[in-house]
Every structure is written in C-alpha cells, then in structure tokens.
Amino acid sequence: MSVIAIIGSVVVALAALLHVYIFVLESVRWMQPSTWRIFNVRDEEQAETLRPMAYNQGFYNLFLAIGAGAGLVLYFEGSLPYAARALILFTTACMAAAAIVLTTTGRGYLRPALVQGTLPLIGFALFLFA
C-alpha cells in the first residue's frame, strides 16, 4: 500500500467521522440550544420548523459516512479493490459536491462548506492518484 493511500485513508476516515458528527447534530441533538448556535437557529420555534429537514439531512450525512467507511473496510480487506476505490471516490465526491452546493446558498455558508468539504475533497484527490 502506498503512502498516498495511507494518508488518503486517514483523511477519508476523518471525513466520515465529521459526517457522523453532523448526523448527530442534525438528527439526534437538533432540539438542544447548543446545536441551534452552530446552525444559527434563533429559537425553539424555528428549530421545530426546521426539525424534519434537519433530521432527514442528518441521515444523508450518516449514509455518506457509512459509504466512505465501507469503502475503507473493503480497501483494507483487499478482495474487492476496484469496488472499494469506487465507493470511496463516489462518497467523497458526493460530500464535496454537497459542500459546493452549500456555498450557493449564501456568503454565510462559505465557512461551513469549507469545514464540510475540505477533507472529502482531499481524500478524493489522494485516492484518485493512489
């Protein structure tokens, strides 16, 4: 296994963990004021209005994280290397694309998009050349 693949694996694992954390915020801890501050939610009424969307969006993040994790497991297991790389590339591309879409919603979303998209983009690039 190349150094690029090892570094890429660490970066993809971190991207997956970040997306699990986002899932926890959006789908598990959404009604907590500490979570509202992260997402600039004004009050309980607004949080309640956004709750179904956040819950659903959180699961999207979880599924992407599971895909990246499954790709890493397959990669290290070794019997399906092409499937593993395809799964890793697909999930990291989706994570990065979602971050790009986030930037189109307004200037205030640039920082969250960078947080959400930097690790997957780096992981994608590393696995593309690994």
Q: Which pLDDT score is estimated for 1?
A: 84
% of the chain with per-residue pLDDT over 70: 100
Give kind and range of the element (H or E) at residue 52.
helix 44-77
pTM: 0.94
Interval 3-21 mean pLDDT: 98
90-121 pLDDT per residue, tens: 999 999 999 999 999 999 999 999 999 999 99
What mean pLDDT value characterizes the chain? 97
Rg of the Cα atoms in the chain: 16
Q: What's the pLDDT score for residue 80?
A: 96
Q: Are 23 and 61 in contact (CB under 8 A)?
A: yes
Rounded to whole angstroms, how far apart are CA atoms 11 and 17? 10
What residues does each domain of the chain span? 3-129
DSSP one-letter string for 72-95: HHHHHH-S-HHHHHHHHHHHHHHH
pLDDT tens profile 26-58: 999 999 999 999 999 999 999 999 999 999 999
